Amino acid sequence: MSSFFAFCNTYSDEAACIKALADIRWPGGFVCDKCQHDKSYHLDSRPRIYECANCGHQHSVTAGTIFHKTRTPLRKWFMAMYLIGHDKRGVSALMISNELSLRYESAWLMCHKIRHALTERDEFRLRDFIEVDETFYGGRRQKGNRGRHHGGSKALVVMAVEKTLAPKGKRGIKGQAYNAGAARIAVINAATAEVLGGFIRRNVREKAWIISDGWRGYTGLDEFRHIPTVQGSGAMAGENMPIIHILFSNIKAFLNGTFHGVSTKHLPRYLREWNYRFNRRSMRGDLDTFVLRRAVSRSTITYSELVDGMKPDGAGDDVS
């Protein structure tokens, strides 16, 4: 894993950050969007702009990225991405504000824009054996009835996680010889067959084994090998599907420990951050590059959209 010190040396000034963005935007060298010419002038007066030497068309290295029109130095953005990407507990906007000498409001917006960028690629769907279940986050605890419908400030969260064989000689989670693979997570508006089935089909390869409880929302999964298990009681859920319930506990500890709870409006972005980092837990040394590439490939989200509750993908609740 690269150290924060080494990272700061690599991106030591604004020019180094601009070059990094240009290298990602044009990995084979500059190519004009308008005339395809391969030569450009780098404007000294506007260092984020590359001007085509043939037609004069100007290209901003931050256009179409989460850095679009930012007045914050790129080096501070890069440092924030490093901190968010590398600390599995997450970092708060207050910490980013203090460490990078930013106004709290600027740090808060920056953190949400970075989370907004952390998408999973559609082609890398989950496979083989998959545990699927839902949980509530926020609001008051309901007694007795498990309940699968929204209630006030509660958010309904669904997760699918790969169940992979533990290495030879290892006991695995709860001694069941299995560990967690990759995961997908989303905030949903109802635990119906349409909603749950849609989440599974978007995130899991056909013919995979789906392990769920006996809830009627997990019907109609004909393109999968579905194993519904009647729990009998809520206490049995952790025994029948131990991996997913441990991850649910970890997520709630992440949300309540680092951020002291989050609103349902912004929950999808926090889940996106957790999921992106969890799926790359074995590649932490490369997280700098992963997060930076996502930041370049993802268009920004505005303060107004955040306050209004715009979902991470611009439509719907799915954050997977």
pLDDT of residue 53 exceeding 90: yes
What Rg value do the Cα atoms of the chain yield, rounded? Answer: 22
**For residue 207, is it within any domain?**
yes
Tell me what pLDDT residue 232 has.
Answer: 54
Mean pLDDT of the chain: 87
Last residue of a domain, one of 86, 117, 148: 117
In a domain, 318, yes or no: no
Q: Has residue 122 been placed in a domain?
A: no
Q: For the residues 110-118, what does the mean pLDDT come to?
A: 93
Q: Does residue 312 register a pLDDT over 70?
A: no
Residues 66 and 149 in one domain: no
Q: Do the domain assignments include residue 28?
A: yes
pTM: predicted TM-score of the whole model, two decimal places: 0.87
At 1 the pLDDT is: 47
pLDDT band at 236 (very low <50, low <70, confident <90, very high): low
Task: State residue 234's pLDDT score.
Answer: 55
Res 254 pLDDT > 80: yes
Average pLDDT over residues 239-246: 86
| Percentage of the chain modeled with pLDDT above 70 | 88
pLDDT over threshold 90, residue 92: yes
pLDDT for 145: 45
Confidence band of 121 (pLDDT split at 50, 70, 90) = confident
Q: What is the pLDDT of residues 125-137, one digit of tens each?
A: 999 999 999 999 9
Asked if the model's pLDDT at residue 102 lies above 50, the reply is yes
Tell me how far apart the alpha carbons of residues 131 and 209 are, in angstroms, rounded to a whole number: 9
pLDDT of 138 higher than 90:
no
Instruction: Tell whether the torsion through CA atoms of 248, 251, 257 and 261 is positive or negative.
Output: negative
Answer whether 51's CB lies under 8 Å from 41's CB. yes
pLDDT computed for residue 124 by the predictor: 86
CATH number where 257 lies: 3.30.420
Total structural domains in the chain? 2
**What per-residue confidence (pLDDT) applies to 143?**
52
171 in the same domain as 107: no
Q: Which domain holds residue 38?
A: 4-117
- Mean pLDDT score, 165-182: 80
Among 65, 83, 117, residue at a domain's last position: 117
Q: Same domain for 243 and 157? A: yes
CA distance 306 to 112: 8
- Tens-digit pLDDT profile for residues 7-48: 889 999 999 999 999 999 999 999 999 999 999 998 888 999
Greater confidence, 195 or 43?
A: 195
Indicate whether 169 and 38 sit together in one domain.
no
Q: Which residues does residue 60 pair with via DSSP β-bridges, in sequence order? A: 49
3-class secondary structure per residue, the chain? CCCHHHHHHHCCCHHHHHHHHHHHHCCCCCCCCCCCCCCEEECCCCCCEEEECCCCCEEECCCCCCCCCCCCCHHHHHHHHHHHHHCCCCCCHHHHHHHCCCCHHHHHHHHHHHHHHCCCCCCCCECCEEEEEEEEECCCCCCCCCCCCCCCCCEEEEEEEEEEECCCCCCCHHHCCEEEEEEEEEEECCCCHHHHHHHHHHHECCCCEEEEECCHHHCCCCCCEEEEECCCCHHHHHHHCHHHHHHHHHHHHHHHHHCCCCCCCCHHHHHHHHHHHHCCHHHHHHHHHHHHHHHHHCCCCCHHHHHHCCCCCCCCCCCC
State how far the Cα of 81 lies from the Cα of 68, in Å rounded to an integer. 16
